[in-house]
Structure formats: structure tokens, C-alpha cells
A = this chain, B = another copy of it.
Amino acid sequence: MYHAKVVVTLRRSILDPQGKAVEHGIHTLGHEAVENVRIGKMVEMHIDVASRDEAERIAKDAAGKLLANPVMEDFHVTVEKVG
């Protein structure tokens, strides 16, 4: 059994209005030193297969076909053994 984490982020060249809104909120808390806030998604899953390679292949396939929009987003997959 493996635990996979897929982090999906907007490409650097794409404006992130949600991030801008959060940045404004953080400034309102008094933290003016915060900038370049960007919001991404993190999708975790368990994958019940025998090898790390197979788990990584499945997580990358799911990320590329379902979790990330290839036009606007990048993704990064990490896999670790559990249980």
C-alpha cells in the first residue's frame, strides 16, 4: 500500500486572483511582508498495489488526466510506502 500526494499548482504565467484575495486578507491581519500568494490543490490517496513504480504511474495518470488542467496547471507527485 502506498500513499500518494498530488500537488496541483497554477503555472507561474497565469494570474491567480484567488491568491491575490488571500494576500489582501493576510495584509489585513498586519502581515505586510507577505507577497506572491498562490493557491493550489493537494490531493492525497492510498494506492493498493505491489510496487512504488506502479503507484507512481497510477498517481501521475490520474493527475494528468483528471486532477490538473494541462493548459493552466502543473502537478507534482510524491509517493511513499505505508502500512
Residues of A in contact with B, size category: 20 to 34
Given contacts A22-B67, A66-B22, A66-B26, contact A37 B43 (CB under 8 A): yes
Q: How many identical subunits does the complex contain?
A: 2
Evaluate contact between B62 and A33: CB separation under 8 angstroms.
Answer: no
**CB neighbours of A33 from chain B (8 A):** 47-49, 58
Evaluate contact between B62 and A7: CB separation under 8 angstroms.
Answer: no
Evaluate contact between A22 and B46: CB separation under 8 angstroms.
Answer: no
Evaluate contact between A35 and B46: CB separation under 8 angstroms.
Answer: yes
For residue A70, CB closer than 8 A to chain B, the reply is: no
Q: Nearest-CB distance from A12 to chain B (Å)?
A: 11
**CB neighbours of A26 from chain B (8 A):** 45, 62, 66
